[in-house]
Amino acid sequence: MIGTGYVGLVSGVCLADFGHEIVCIDKDEAKLALLRDGKTPIFEPGLDALLARNMAAGRLSFTSDLRAAIDGVQVVFIAVGTPSRRGDGHADLSYVFSAVQELAEVLTDHVVIVTKSTVPVGTSRKVAELMRATNPAQDFDVVSNPEFLREGAAIDDFMHPDRVVVGVQTDRAAAVMQAIYRPLTDRGFPMLVADLETAEMVKYAANAFLATKVTFINEMALLCERTGADVKAVANGMGFDQRIGPKFLQAGPGYGGSCFPKDTRALARIGQDHAAPLQIVETVIKVNEEVKRVMIDKIIDLCDGHVRKKSIAVLGLTFKPGTDDMRDAPSLTIVPALVGQGADVRVVDPQAFREAEDLLPGVTWHDDAYTAVQGADLVVILTEWDDFRTLDLARLAGSMAEPRMADLRNVYHCDDAVAAGFSYYTGIGRKSVM
Ligand code: NAD
């Protein structure tokens, strides 16, 4: 497993749990040192125990030495990052191609090279071309096996997937992939075997569709506010329809995270490059940026039109609960805007500190919501961590200079917030008192 990040580590640990012998490779020595010590460098529920179990069973090891690790392996997964390329939104494939190049230089026996990273259509063929150019004598197969796990539920998603998708060119590669995932397919989890291009496309299409669903309800929420409808009830009413389903219909401050923003941008570029512009995806990207700006305006409105010298407590920074990943979190747009306009911003997040400390200069960190709101003019709920779902609202309101709340995840109801002493409350797409 080349690349031991959120996807590589979870996949490596879970594949080891299936009984396979896994060597995880990374260039980050600090990460490897933690892992060899049995410690996980990321926050992911359930990962520690699974890591310990499979290390103890001798099926899982960690190294930076690709040449040594590769000796005798049948399959190499590539799970390195594919961030947005600066400036143009294309997926940056430099990590994938350098991993392939390094691999080509040390391979001797036949291997199946599996791209698990999210990559544009055509990348697996480019991987094969690079292999042939670097090591013409090498016998290999290429496979696309995109990953659909969600951070915060990654182990469960890997162990109970809605589907496994593999793109192959040969029966030999298909048989190897079927053997790897047999513990899942034997339990009835479906496996789609397709060609390389189809498998690569499924991943982007699925992520773009989900980002569209989230953005659709976020835009509906803005209309609900103008019309007096309640977006939570609207989403329920829509979600009961089995053709729609209830998931990804929670209005919020915009999608974020390590996948939706970069994958929608990359897909839009793929469409443009192939003269098949994806107007829906391009609009989703624009609307999502707009939603974040609307959130900043909401906060400013709640503070009587300006945030200069106002104390604002922000609860939650990660793009969703259950992860410490800060990549493209809406908080990275919203919090700096408030700091930039002169607000005194205090922040609380159960997991974000290590990742977010450097990304959010000028804020004050607090350990819990109650200390963060002491004397504050506004409290903003930005991520719906469980800690923030069970707050004593009266205690919160009682310790604030101005009991005002911007509940950007619709955790509470306006009437309850007002009953607890909040003089102003706004959710998203539902009743507010302002
Ligand atoms: P990440 O940044 O957490 O991890 C990537 C790791 O690869 C890092 O530890 C880095 O040090 C290592 N690396 C880079 N180049 C290397 C090389 N040449 N040799 C060895 N190690 C190398 O990234 P991630 O979030 O795990 O994402 C990986 C891929 O999976 C991306 O393409 C992403 O789009 C996709 N994906 C991510 C998620 C998610 O929820 N994070 C879900 C599905 C798919």
Q: Which two tokens stand for residue 190?
A: 């479906």
Calculate how far, in angstroms, residue 215's C-alpha sits from the geometric centre of ligand 1: 26
* Contact predicate 82/115, CB 8 Å: no
H-assigned helices in 186-309: 196-227, 231-239, 260-273, 279-302
Residue-level pLDDT at 237: 98
Binding residues for NAD(+): 26, 31, 82, 118, 151, 262, 327
Do 321 and 216 fall within a single domain?
yes
Interatomic CA distance for residues 258 and 84, integer angstroms: 10
CA atoms within 13 A on the CB side of 99: 26
pLDDT for 87 = 85
Query: Is 161 in the same domain as 272?
Result: no
Distance CA(363)–CA(327), nearest Å, equals 18
Same domain, 227 and 241: yes
Pair 323, 329: CB distance under 8 Å? no
> Is residue 281 assigned to a domain?
yes
Residue 159: which of 23, 49, 40, 13 has the closest Cα? 13
Answer yes or no: is 263 within a domain. Answer: yes
- Of 144, 169, 194, the position where a domain reaches its end is 194
Our answer on whether the CB atom of 3 is closer than 6 Å to any ligand 1 atom is: yes
Range of the domain at 254: 196-434
User: Looking at residue 10, which CATH number applies to its domain?
Assistant: 3.40.50.720
Atom 12 in ligand 1: residue holding the nearest Cα: 3
| Look-up of token digits 């590769």 | 70
* Test site for ligand 1: of 2, 4, 6, most ligand atoms within 8 A of the Cβ: 6
Q: Quick check: 59 and 21 in contact, CB under 8 A? A: yes
List, by residue number, the catalytic residues: 259
Q: Closest ligand 1 atom to the C-alpha of 258?
A: 41
Q: Which atom of ligand 1 sits closest to the CA of residue 102?
A: 18
Query: Does 139 fall in a domain?
Result: yes
Q: Which of 172, 194, 216 is at the close of a domain?
A: 194
pLDDT at 174: 98
Give the Cβ contact number of residue 347 at 10 Å.
24
Ranges assigned E (strand) in 89-179: 111-115, 140-144, 164-167
Residue 82's pLDDT is what? 97
**Contact assessment for residue 207 and residue 82, using Cβ atoms and an 8 Å cutoff:** no
Give me 247's structure tokens: 């998931």
pLDDT of residue 192: 98
Residues 313, 397, single domain; the answer is: yes
How remote is the CA of residue 129 from the centroid of ligand 1, in Å? 22
- The pLDDT, as a whole number, for residue 86 is 86
Q: What's the CA-to-centroid distance between 386 and ligand 1, angstroms?
A: 27
Q: 194, 223, 239: which is the final residue of a domain? A: 194
Same domain, 201 and 294: yes
Residues 158, 89 share a domain: yes
Tell me phi and psi for residue 55, to 5 degrees: -65, -45
Please tell me the distance between residue 8's alpha carbon and the centre of ligand 1 in angstroms: 6
Distance of alpha carbon 66 from alpha carbon 63, whole angstroms: 7
**34 & 176 share domain:** yes
Q: Which of 132, 130, 151, 144 is nearest to 328 (CA)?
A: 151
Map tokens 């707009």 to a residue. Answer: 290
80 C-beta closer than 6 A to ligand 1? yes
Tell me the CA–centroid distance for residue 376 and ligand 1, in Å. 39
What whole-number distance in Å separates Cα of residue 114 and Cα of residue 332? 33
| Judgement on whether residues 117 and 64 belong to the same structural domain of the protein | yes
Q: Half-sphere exposure of 90 toward its Cβ, with a 13 Å CA cutoff?
A: 10
pLDDT at 434: 83
Q: Ligand 1 centroid vs 40 CA: distance in angstroms?
A: 15
Residue 156 and residue 210 in one domain: no
Is residue 122 a part of any domain in this protein?
yes
Residues 273 and 310 in one domain: yes
Which residue positions form the known binding site? 26, 31, 82, 118, 148-151, 203, 248-252, 256, 262, 320, 327
Asked if residue 334 is part of any domain, the answer here is yes
Do 390 and 415 reside in the same domain of the chain?
yes
Pick the atom of ligand 1 nearest to 151's CA: 40
- Considering the domain boundaries, does residue 1 fall inside one? no
Interface confidence (ipTM) of the complex: 0.99
218 lines ligand 1 (CB under 6 A): no
* Total tally of structural domains belonging to the chain: 2
What is the residue with the minimal CA distance to atom 30 of ligand 1?
117
Q: Are residue 330 and residue 205 in the same domain, yes or no?
A: yes
Angle subtended at Cα 203 by Cα 202 and Cα 209, rounded to the nearest 5 degrees? 85
Residue 175 lies inside a defined structural domain of this protein? yes
- pLDDT tens over the chain, length 434 residues: 999 999 999 999 999 999 999 999 999 999 999 999 999 999 999 999 999 999 999 999 999 999 999 999 999 999 999 999 988 999 999 999 999 999 999 999 999 999 999 999 999 999 999 999 999 999 999 999 999 999 999 999 999 999 999 999 999 999 999 999 999 999 999 999 999 999 999 999 999 999 999 999 999 999 999 999 999 999 999 999 999 999 999 999 999 999 999 999 999 999 999 999 999 999 999 999 999 999 999 999 999 999 999 999 999 999 999 999 999 999 999 999 999 999 999 999 999 999 999 999 999 999 999 999 999 999 999 999 999 999 999 999 999 999 999 999 999 999 999 999 999 999 999 999 98
Cβ of 11 below 6 Å from ligand 1: no
Task: For residue 54, give Cα distances in angstroms to 20, 29, 36.
Answer: 10, 21, 12
Residue 355 CB less than 6 A away from ligand 1: no
Long-range contact list for 415-424, CB < 8 A, 24+ apart?
Answer: 417/393, 420/393, 420/394, 420/396, 421/393, 421/394, 421/397, 422/393, 422/397, 424/302
Contact 246, 235 (CB under 8 A): yes
